[in-house]
Each structure stands twice: as structure tokens, then as C-alpha cells.
Amino acid sequence: MGVKGFVEGGIASIIAGCSTHPLDLIKVRMQLQGENAPKPNPVQVLRPALAFGQTGSATSIHVAGQTAVPQARVGLVSVGVRLVQQEGVKALFSGVSATVLRQTLYSTTRMGLYDILKNKWTDREAGGTMPLARKIEAGLIAGGVGAAIGNPADVAMVRMQADGRLPAAQRRNYKSVVDAITRMAKQEGVTSLWRGSSLTVNRAMLVTASQLASYDQFKEMILEKGVMKDGLGTHVTASFAAGFVAAVASNPVDVIKTRVMNMKVEAGKEPSYAGALDCAMKTIRAEGPMALYKGFIPTISRQGPFTVVLFVTLEQVRKVLKDF
């Protein structure tokens, strides 16, 4: 039973990860917007707006006030269009090999472990249900263990997805996830493969607890109240609701994780961030508190479909493998 849970979860996770990879890539690009941007010169940002009269004489010139030059905000569609224009359609799948490895290591572990804990902690005498608190606990444990195992692939995926936004001379140009992990270990040390691991673990615990626990909870509520029967409609509804909960809970940690993993560490130079807290404080000071929700639209745009594909596929895989 335990092994089957890992297989079922792994198959569903890989399919979901690959099918929503372009949205995940756009999310990463949006989360890195504004990072390391030069601080504007006050003279340039607040410049006098001069109004000239028809005669153009000195007496007709007056200061109309200080006009702020707003920074352009680039949205989901704009980032996607620009990415395709500058790097080609193929760029939407940059780092997909890392996604496959990440889902194989991280999601297979968390899904299988959650399934084991769920079966162990389910109260058979109480109708085969598990309290929400227990579901959350199982999700926290499963997510944490899975993230620790899959962190190297996560770092490689973030870097491969972010590479195209760098000037050509600064790009890492990893050929594959294996090349990325090998070069990181050689150039930056083996410990670099677990850079941001505390953030990865925290994010995974939040995502798994909110995603898997809320899916089971929403599904049980829908079936208990007789809103729908156990079928595709129930699975889609419960999984989309679970995706929204997971996106809201995990986005701030996800932004910090992306930035810490993507930073360049060069010998003799001070790294951009001393750690997760330093990254969070610098981000908030430079870009405001809402910077922690950068990429939220693509996050929910990706987390929703990902969760739907994940659980709908999982339910179908379970039907296929039920006799094994």
C-alpha cells in the first residue's frame, strides 16, 4: 500500500508539473522583477515639470510641481509575451528537466508519505475520516521531508528558469538539470545544492499541508453535504479550492526562496543576501511589503491548474492501479 502511494503520487505530480511548467517559469521571472534594480536618483525621479507659454518668454515659465516618474508594472501576459519574443517559444520550457527531477524527488516523497500517514492516522471506527488537524500535521511532515530530498533539483530549476532574464555574458547556460547540479557542486560547493533549503522546506510544509489537507477536507465536505457525487466535478472543485489556499499560504516564502536560490555567489564578493530573513527585509525595504506577493497572479494561475491536474490525474491513476 505504501509503495503504491509513492508511485501514484509520482506519476500525477510529474504530469501536473510538466503541463504547468510555463506558468511556473513566468512566476519565477515576475518574482525576480525589481531585484537589484538601481535606486533612482531623486533628481531624476522628482523632476520639475516646466510649463511654457505660447511666447516662450522667461516670464511665462513656471514650475508646475514635482512629477513622479512611475515604474512600469509588468503583468503575467506581458512577461509571457516578452519572454516568447526575446527568447522564443522554447524558452517557456526552460528548466523542464529540473521540474521532472524535482517532482520525482520532492512530490513523489511528499505524496507517498502523506498517504502513509493518512492511512495510519485515519480513524476507521469514526467512518474512515481523519481530523483536519491531523491532515495538516501529516502535510507538514510529508512536505518537509520531500523538500529536503528535492532541494538540489529545486535550486537548479529556479536558476534555469531565471537564466534568460540575465545579460548574455552573465548567463549560466546550463545544458540540463544534471549539468546544473554538477557545475554548482564543482564551482560553489556541494552545500550550494541546499541553498535556501530552509525556505524550500518551510514552503513545502505550507504547500503540502494547505494543498493536500484542504483537498481532502473540501472533498469530504462536498460529498457529506451531497453537493456533488464522487466524480470529476468534485475532484476539480476541491482541487481548485485547495490550489487557492496553497497559493495564498506559500507565496511570500516562495518569493524569498526564488531570490535566495537565484543569487550569484562569487569568491571574494559579499553575497546579495545573508539569508532568508535578510532577503525578506531587503525586499520589503526596497520594494515594499507587497513585493512578497509578486508573481501571485501566475502563482494562483499555476497553482490552480497544477492542483487540478495533480488530483484529477491522481484519482484516475488510483482507479487504474486499484487492483495492484
Instruction: Let me know: does 243 contact 311? Beta carbons within 8 Å.
Output: no
> Which contacts qualify for 175-183: CB closer than 8 Å, 24 or more apart?
176/97, 177/95, 177/97, 177/98, 177/100, 177/101, 177/153, 178/97, 180/98, 180/156, 181/152, 181/153, 181/156
Q: What residues contact 239, with CB distance under 8 A and at least 6 apart?
A: 215, 307, 308, 310, 311, 312
Q: What residues contact 84, with CB distance under 8 A and at least 6 apart?
A: 91, 92
282 falls within a domain: yes
Angle at 109 between CA 108 and CA 115, to 5 degrees: 90
48 falls within a domain: no
Strand partners, 47: 67
Average pLDDT over the chain reads 84
Q: Provide the 8-state DSSP code for 123.
A: B
Res 286: pLDDT:
92
Res 280: pLDDT:
92
Global confidence as pTM: 0.74
Res 72: pLDDT:
53
Res 73: pLDDT:
56
214 falls within a domain: yes
Instruction: Let me know: does 106 contact 147? Beta carbons within 8 Å.
Output: yes
d(CA 125, CA 196): 42
Domains in the chain, number: 1
What are the cell numbers at 1?
500500500
152 falls within a domain: yes
148 falls within a domain: yes
CB burial of 213-245 (b: ≥16 within 10 Å; e: otherwise) equals: bbbbbbbbebeeeeebeeeeebbbbbbbbbbbb
67 falls within a domain: no
Q: Is 106 exposed, middle or buried, given 0-12, 13-18 or 19+ CB atoms closer than 10 A?
A: buried
d(CA 17, CA 251): 17
Res 6: pLDDT:
95
- Give SS3 for 4: helix
62 falls within a domain: no
For the chain, the distance separating the N- and C-terminal CA atoms, rounded to the nearest angstrom, is 9
Task: Write out the H or E segment, with its range, that includes residue 213.
Answer: helix 197-224
Per the structure, the complete domain to which residue 295 belongs is given by 2-35+73-320
d(CA 293, CA 12): 27
What are the cell numbers at 56?
516662450
Here the CATH number for the domain that contains residue 260 is 1.50.40.10
d(CA 6, CA 8): 6
43 falls within a domain: no
pLDDT averaged per 10 residues, the chain (length 324) = 86 94 88 67 42 41 43 73 91 91 94 92 75 93 95 91 86 92 93 88 92 94 92 93 91 89 81 89 92 85 89 93 83
Task: Write out the H or E segment, with its range, that includes residue 66.
Answer: strand 62-68
Could you read off the pLDDT of 158-175 as tens digits, one per residue? Answer: 899 888 888 888 899 998
